[in-house]
Amino acid sequence: MIDMASGQGGQIQVNNISGYLPGRIVFFLVNTHLTPRPILLTRHGESRDNVRGRIGGDTALSEAGGLYAKKLANFVEKRLKSERTASIWTSTLQRTILTASPIVGFPKIQWRALDEINAGVCDGMTYEEIKKNMPEEYESRKKDKLRYRYPRGESYLDVIQRLEPVIIELERQRAPVVVISHQAVLRALYAYFADRPLKEIPHIEVPLHTIIEIQMGVTGVQEKRYKLMD
């Protein structure tokens, strides 16, 4: 039995819990709180592969991407100047690490779970190349983007599953967090906090050079978007 006793200082009483799923529910509940704090989500600055229209890869930033990194640093340092316990989370790919590089004064943590969806054998290709050389894969992805898994790669459902520890850690945080990641990953994270349906995740708009600020608190979740570049 799980008894969330609001009359006892918000205590959670747990009795006779067994099994994987009940255990995960308890773990999630004890790591969740309603302390107001912002979570800032943003994609990395434009990469060289973005310019070429190639998916995946691990290229550096374009000139525009480098400019965004500087603008992001200025925004974060002003927005969180009184929040010195804030932290910056990135993936392990260099385009997110380079985007975070100009930000100073905050600890930076790399998460492999924040890496972009693994495109498998399609990594480094354009969608036109996939359509031409792998038409069956192209059509399969088009029909069911949520469940489609790249050959030797991942599906959106795989990404959602690997984000579980990130989400739990975000729920645990009492200080602001800036998450610099990738389109598929941020679609999934945004959907979790904004309570969007699973089927919508692959189609959520997460544009480059835009910050999505999610304010967590007792009154629920509020959202603001900041477009730093035209």
Q: Which of 44, 54, 141, 187 is catalytic?
A: 44
Is 209 assigned a catalytic role?
Answer: no
Question: Is 123 a known ligand-binding residue?
Answer: no
Backbone angles phi, psi at 126, to 5 degrees: -90, 160
Is 43 assigned a catalytic role?
Answer: yes
Is 95 assigned a catalytic role?
Answer: yes
Q: Which of 95, 162, 187, 209 is catalytic?
A: 95
Is 118 assigned a catalytic role?
Answer: no
User: What does the alpha-carbon distance between residue 189 and residue 184 come to, in Å, rounded to a whole number?
Assistant: 9
Question: Is 62 a known ligand-binding residue?
Answer: no
Which fold would CATH assign to domain 35-227? Rossmann fold (3.40.50)
Q: Are strands 220-227 and 210-217 parallel, antiparallel or unpaired?
A: antiparallel
Inter-residue contact 209 to 44 (CB < 8 Å) = no
**Looking at residue 13, what is its pLDDT?**
57
CA atoms within 13 A on the CB side of 135: 1
Question: Is 48 a known ligand-binding residue?
Answer: yes
pLDDT by residue (tens digit) across 77-107?
A: 999 988 879 999 999 999 999 999 999 999 9
The residue among 98, 50, 78 whose CA lies nearest residue 208 is 50
Is 44 assigned a catalytic role?
Answer: yes
- Element (H or E) spanning 144, and its range? none
Asked if residue 12 has pLDDT above 70, the reply is: no
- Element (H or E) spanning 35, and its range? none
Asked if residue 216 has pLDDT above 80, the reply is: no
Asked if residue 31 has pLDDT above 80, the reply is: no
The residue among 154, 48, 160, 156 whose CA lies nearest residue 95 is 48
pLDDT by residue (tens digit) across 178-201?
A: 999 999 999 999 999 999 999 999
Q: Which of 37, 54, 162, 182 is catalytic?
A: 182
| 3-state class percentages of the chain: helix first, strand second, coil last, to nearest 5 | 45, 20, 35
Average the pLDDT over each of 82-96, 167-181, 207-221 and give the range with the smallest value: 207-221
In the chain, CATH 3.40.50.1240 sits at: 35-227
Task: Give the pLDDT band of residue 35 (cuts 50, 70, 90).
Answer: confident
What is the mean predicted confidence (pLDDT) over 119-131? Answer: 98
Asked if residue 23 has pLDDT above 90, the reply is: no
Q: Which of 37, 54, 116, 141 is catalytic?
A: 116
CB contact burial 109-139 (16+ within 10 A = b; e otherwise): eebebbbbbbbeebbebeeeebeeebeebbe
Is 50 assigned a catalytic role?
Answer: yes
Question: Is 203 a known ligand-binding residue?
Answer: no
Question: Is 50 a known ligand-binding residue?
Answer: yes
Question: What is the share, in percent, of the chain residues with pLDDT greater than 90?
Answer: 77
Q: Which of 37, 43, 162, 187 is catalytic?
A: 43
